Amino acid sequence: MTPSPSLYRPAAAFDALRLPLIGRVLRHRYGRLALQIPFLALAALLVYDGFTGDPLAGRNLATVIPWVHYRGFAVLALLLAGNLFCMGCPFTVPRTLAKRLSGRGPRFPRALRSKWLAVAALILLFFAYEWLDFWSSPALTAWLIVAYLAASFILEALFSESPFCKYVCPLGTFNFVYSTLSPVQIAVRDREICRSCVGRECLTGSYSPQPVILIDQVGVNGAPDRTHAHSPQGTLGCGTLLFAPQIKSNIDCVMCLDCARACPHDNVGLMARRPGTALTRADAFPPRYDLAFLIIILAAFGLINAFGMVPPVYALMQSLADGLGLTAAGLSDAAIEAVVLIAIFLIGGVLLPVALSLLTAAAARRLTRTVQRDSLRAALCAFAPAFVPIGFGLWAAHYAFHFLVGFLTIIPVTQYFLQDHHLGWLGAPNWSLGGIDSLEVVGLIQMIALLAGFVGSLLAAQRIAARLYRRQAMAGLLPWALLLLLMMMAGGWLFSLPMEMRGTITFS
């Protein structure tokens, strides 16, 4: 029997869920909760310190842990292990409670079931981060955590699937996109089992308020041959509505492993794969504008976000404020900054990358004489995944800077917090602990991340071009390679400038 093309399984010899101890812990009913509870406790601690602790960002856990450590560890985990932060996400603990309380609500509105909302949420977060200076305010960071918990709880309580994770969460969206580079992916062990599966518990779950026996197979004598049960101890189905045998990339997978727990046939695994494999597969990314532009815009924001930390940003903001007549209008500095940031974000983060990628796709179609064969959307969406490595390289280079220069600051801040609460276990704060002193070393690491991302993107684009244009692959690759080169050079220029921690802007 020929396997159905809709069922997919990556060639993998390694399944993390088969590991002796780790596999058992991960598959355990409370395996995810064991990871989430410490993160939830940490989130509570950050909220507490954010609201009650020292308002100086460098002396408060609420600003140090999210803006220095979380982001550094997140990119490292995505690259080395997978979407561990969505797996341990503390915001989904009340989500699970909301789901149990609410039962099955309506589905998320059809018009919002795309990545456009996630793109908007990401841009909103980037804007709020820059405008309100989240990095310098423990209280605002605490409010952000509270807002996350509330949004997750409300959306999960109202709708049947997990709309917060799938359609809204900016952090999850970032993790979804860049976990396509990760070395692991949910997959099934035996496709034939899925073909004959009745319950599809990986999708729908094995939870039932009352115990229910389901018949998998009826024997020749009419009696049930194979059964399995749904019960109150069962697992909720996939919140992001992924059907395990059809998963072809890590997009939308929060690695909660509920699919593996719910599968009555023990047929779902966390399989190893070559990092980035999904980027060049024809069917791994649905050919949708929302997904394609999400990837491209996120990569562009890697540049915009880093640009916000280098000295030329001041000159650009001032000239925009003058050009738009904002300074002459006598607006406050905060209002001017808001308008100028919106202009920079919309032009540099949205309009420019969208226009350039559409032009590049059009040029590739013309050069390969595939204008009649491929739509502009098909040409663009095929190459969009090639922006994942360079986007990751840009973000990794930026986050690596903050992480490397400040990873040891967690020690004095913890000492300070304990001392502030009359707990002298760790002694007086040692404020001399920072991180790597040499900015040359940090700069070298940043350049390596950027170049590795560029090479990865170039390789992915070359494979996509070979698949799409065959003999005319070079002609099809050329415009995309030039766009990627442009991004890499922009990144190289940015990271060669002194990165400063943007302070108060006074418009003259």
Partner 1 sequence: MSRTVLRRIHPAGILALWTLLLLLLTACQGAASPTTGEVSFELVALEPDTQIVGEVTLVLRVLRGEAPLAGAQVAVQGDLRRAGVLPVQGGGQTDSAGVVRVPFEWTTGGDWVVTVTITTPDGQQRAGQFELTIAS
Residues that bind partner 1 (CB under 8 A): 56-60, 63-64, 67-68, 133, 135-136, 311, 314, 402-403, 405-407, 409, 431-435, 498-504, 506
Judged by CB, which is closer to partner 1: 295, or 499?
Answer: 499
Q: What DSSP letter does each residue of 65-103 carry, written as one string?
A: IIIIIIHHHHHHHHHHT--HHHHT-TTHHHHHHHHHHH-
Shortest reach from residue 405's CB to partner 1, in Å: 7
Judged by CB, which is closer to partner 1: 143, or 243?
Answer: 143
C-beta separation of 9 from 188 below 8 A: yes
Shortest reach from residue 504's CB to partner 1, in Å: 5
Judged by CB, which is closer to partner 1: 109, or 311?
Answer: 311
C-beta separation of 284 from 278 below 8 A: yes
340 to 124, 130, 345: CA distances (angstroms)? 14, 11, 9
- Tell me whether residue 367 is exposed, middle or buried, using C-beta atoms within 10 angstroms of its C-beta: 0 to 12, 13 to 18, 19 or more: middle
Place of tokens 């996120």: 298
Shortest reach from residue 75's CB to partner 1, in Å: 15
Judged by CB, which is closer to partner 1: 2, or 440?
Answer: 440
Shortest reach from residue 485's CB to partner 1, in Å: 27
Q: How far apart are CA 445 and CA 456, in angstroms?
A: 16
Judged by CB, which is closer to partner 1: 116, or 135?
Answer: 135
Q: How far apart are CA 350 and CA 330, in angstroms?
A: 28
Shortest reach from residue 437's CB to partner 1, in Å: 8
Judged by CB, which is closer to partner 1: 310, or 378?
Answer: 310
Q: Which residues contact 358 (CB under 8 A, 6 or more apart)?
A: 376, 380
Q: How far apart are CA 18 and CA 406, in angstroms?
A: 37
Judged by CB, which is closer to partner 1: 143, or 431?
Answer: 431
> For residue 229, how far is the Cα from the chain centroid?
35
Place of tokens 């940490």: 42
Shortest reach from residue 129's CB to partner 1, in Å: 12
Judged by CB, which is closer to partner 1: 67, or 383?
Answer: 67
Beta strand 212-218 pairing with 224-230: antiparallel
Shortest reach from residue 306's CB to partner 1, in Å: 14
Shortest reach from residue 498's CB to partner 1, in Å: 5
* Nearest by Cα to 384 from 349, 356, 348: 356
Q: What are phi and psi of 365, to 5 degrees?
A: -65, -40
